[in-house]
Structure 1
Amino acid sequence: MRENGMAKSSDIPVIDLQELADNPKELKNNKLREAYEDWGCFRLTNHRIDLNLMKEMKKVVGSLLDLPLEIKMRNTEQVIARSGYMAPSATNPLYEGLGLYDMASSHAVRSFCSRLDACPHQTKVIEAYGKAIHELMMDISEKMAESLGVEVVEEYFKEWVCESWINKYSFTPQTIGSSGVQIHTDSSFFTILQDDEEVGGLQVMSKSGSFVDVPPCPGSLFVILGDIAQVWSNGRFGAVKHRVECKEARVRVSIASLLLGPKEGDIEAPKELVDPHHHPRLFLPFSYEHYRKLRSSQKMHAGEALALLHASTTFD
């Protein structure tokens, strides 16, 4: 329900994976499409990721984010633009993060852990979490495709990179009411967020343009559609703008896992979603790395860079 036309936290869709499995195909696809199209995000429950693994992962990333700056700065292997270590900045002074490119790769995880002097137990936890999240990503991406009537072979999304960001917000009494991270969209296909189970602050923008709080919900995950979802769906899905606001004087930690795009080749809408008369192709094919660099170089962090790749765009 909405009061005075304003969206509320309770309006944000909740997708129960077990309930989806029990529903007829048509009802399942309708519920998914409504979440993707109306909000571009949803709460995910019964996701089958072990809760003890989630808790242990939270402890591990918390300890890595508490490392001395000189150790965190070793994480400088930037496979793509804006990955590695993100230090507090003038734009986001309360935020810092560590990026892990291709968290589904044991080799990449071990390299990441080695740079940060992580112990064997920490490495084992990150590997197990990466594997579990990647399996969940494959399930969600296939369900997204199915909801649009797109048939994808089993290996289709497995060739897409899964990046991880562990995020720390250092909130103090003096920063209450200020921004933890600027308004942005994710550059990913979608993001699976394990949010802080105690400290809130995440807000998503509704279709009306108002921000809606996403309160902590222990044991659940939160899925956020990014710019690549808009491209891949040929405009049927939209990336959701979101931000983090300082609500209380506590450290806030979250784990974001992003399904980016193909390791090789271009991103483009499947042929089933393109019709020259009713649904012409909206975006030119492009590589994910090109898009990430474009967003970074143009300082366009809320989806504006997609306009530069529109199929109707012409250059002199």
Structure 2
Amino acid sequence: MTGETIPYIDLEKISEQFECNKLRNACEKWGCFRIINHSIPLTLMDEMKMVVVALHDLPMDIKKNNKDVIPGSGYFGPSVFNPLIESVGLYDMGSSQAIQDFCSQLNATPHQRQIMETYGILDADFEDWPCQYRINNYNFTSETIGSFGASAHIDSGFLTILQDDENVGGLEVMDNYGSFVSVAPFHGALLANLGDIARAWSNGRFCNVKHRVLCKEPTTRYSIATFMLGPRKGNVEAPKELVDHDHPLLYRPFTYEEYRTLRVSDNNDRDKFLQACEVLELLRLV
């Protein structure tokens, strides 16, 4: 272990050069960072957490109404490969209709709908990049301590913003020495993870961070992940400013749909949903 901890990025100082340099270094070295002093009210985060708990307390037959829009976007329950996690999902959370459909599937109350719509407004600026909710429940017990809640994996999209459990730890990210580093709970902060699309877009300069969740205490753990996936139209391709003699183009242009199809075809067993994929190797030029 290196003894290092992941960087903290202060959004109130993001216009300052020092903070911008910290952000770039975090993307290149870690592929993840904590976000503090963001614009999401703490009261909204707490209310959203209560909604998540209530949704996971629903009867199984209601939760199974949360159907896939794209593969892996709806409900999935504990499996042989990942026996401790249960999740519901919402694809294209920037769409008011998608949020209403999700709420109807789960018989959400008017108040719960209002909270999720307010939370979803945060993604309104990404209309050309669909975003997806993944609302997770980890059922940890004394018998499962030391087991994986989520096995080591890399996210498929560009950026994941995680509202992690403010009380229960277990999340770990891999540093550039290949060691896993614990991410301690931090009430009010968010965690940003970069995925495969970010690595391809940056021409390999950004780290697509590998991460996992371990059971460390016998209690229920919740998290809310917002995935900014990839462009609806056009290619994922490195900007010309990131390609030169010393940094030749690493990946051929591709659409997010092409990438997703490759990933699903390489990993189409729901029991392996959270496994790391090496799909980018299929898209490399050099």
Question: With structure 2 as the length reference, what TM-score do the two structures score?
Answer: 0.94
Cα displacement (A) at 1:196: 0.4
C-alpha deviation, 1:274, in angstroms:
2.1
SS of aligned partner of 1:193 = strand
Shift of 1:281: 1.6
Give the length in aligned residue pairs. 280
User: What pairs up with 1:242-253 in 2 under 5 angstroms?
Assistant: 242-253=211-222
Instruction: Deviation per CA, 1:47-74: give whole Å up to 9, x if none.
Output: 1100000000000011111111111111
Equivalent residues of 1:185, 1:240 under 8 A apart: yes
Aligned to 1:104: 94
Q: Would the aligned equivalents of 1:196 and 1:253 in 2 still touch at CA under 8 Å?
A: yes
Report Cα offsets for 1:123-166 as digits up to 9, x if no partner.
Answer: 1100101112x26xx6xxxxxxxxxxxxxxxxxx5410111100
1:85 and 2:75 equivalent? yes
Task: Map residues 137-156 of structure 1 onto 2, 5 A cutoff.
Answer: none
TM-score by length of 1: 0.85
In the alignment, which residue of structure 1 is the partner of 2:239?
270
Which residue does 1:175 correspond to in 2?
Answer: 144
Query: Corresponding residue for 1:117?
Result: 107
Q: What is aligned with 1:210?
A: 179
Following TM superposition, by how much is the alpha carbon of 1:79 offset from its aligned partner in structure 2, in angstroms? 2.9
1:7 match: 2
State the AA in 1 paired with 2:86.
Answer: E
Match of 1:162 among 119, 131, 134: 131
Give the Cα–Cα distance (whole angstroms) in 2 for the partners of residues 297 and 31 of structure 1: 37
**Alignment partner, residue 297 of structure 1:** 265
The DSSP-based 3-state class of the residue aligned with 2:151 is strand
In structure 2, the partner of 1:49 is: 40
CA contact (8 A) 2:10 2:19 kept: no
Give the share of equivalent positions with the same residue, in percent: 56
* Long gaps (5+) in structure 1: 1-5, 139-156
Q: CA deviation at 1:107?
A: 0.8
Give the whole-Å Cα distance in 1 for the aligned partners of 2:239 and 2:258: 20
- Which residue of the partner structure matches residue 30 of structure 1? 21
2:281 corresponds to 1:307: yes
Structure 1 residues 286 and 79, CA, compared in 2 at 3 Å: closer, same or farther? farther
Q: CA deviation at 1:201?
A: 0.4
Residue from 219, 230, 234 that aligns with 2:203? 234
Q: For each residue in 1:106-126, what CA deviation from the matched residue of structure 2 results, as whole angstroms up to 9, or x when unmatched?
A: 111001101111111111100
CA distance in 1, matches of 2:42, 2:106: 25
